[in-house]
Structure 1
Amino acid sequence: MKKRIVGIAMAAAISGTVAASVPAAAATSGRCSEGYVCLYYNSGHAGAKAKISGNDRDLAGRKFDSSGAGSGTAVKNHAASAEFVLRGCSPSSCYARVYVNSGYLGNYDQVGANSWRNLADTYNNNASVQVFMPL
């Protein structure tokens, strides 16, 4: 009986370790609607959000339009995280890129379909969004 309890405890510890190694960015936040790229004012898909459908060559003029920290702030050069929701599409074949410069130029961060991530190369330095998906 004692061996069985130890075995169960070890299995639980191992499975807990495996579950903890799965990145939080592997799933959507539930805040972004189907078919949109959402940019968030804060890291961790927090704060106000801006919803973008399709490509946007220049984020100038867009504002974070939901409630939360950053609401009403210009999106250009103020986004800290991004999410892309497109059901039925794998992250390797469908993804969105957030670019440093307008016109889809310069460094970028890529977010796969049905996931989110904190921006690294474009953190608070973002100017355009481009969506890629198979024809």
Structure 2
Amino acid sequence: MKNYRLQAAIVLMLVATAFTSCSLDDNTPNVVTKSSLVTKVEGATTAHINVEVPVTVTFSVDNNCGSYNQFVETTAANTKTIEVESKYEGSNCGTTPASKTAVYKFKSTAVGTYNLKFKKTATEFTTHTIIIN
């Protein structure tokens, strides 16, 4: 019985050591997100109801570790204000700014004129108007 308790204690210590010695946090890359400014917007200006309209958005990132993460939208009536959120992942990224592109997909279920305002500076926007027939 004494031998069984000793073996059980050793197995329990080995299992506890295995779970605490390996941490996934050590291998997780450092990821930072921030808003990026749009330099160009291209795409169709007319479409039909329920048809997806791809709009190509060119934006700048601070270095070669920057890439597209998501579009952040606010909507008021037929106007959408859109910011590009970039993510920066990795190290040894350099300091040279770069241009990247992402496709914004617009789709409407109602006829009308829609203004997509992409953030160009802190106070200015590049507006892309789409007329839905």
Q: Return the TM-score normalized by structure 1.
A: 0.28
More strand by share: 2
Q: Which has the higher contact order (CA 8 A, sep 6+)?
A: 2
Q: Highest CA radius of gyration, 1 or 2?
A: 2
Q: Return the TM-score normalized by structure 2.
A: 0.28
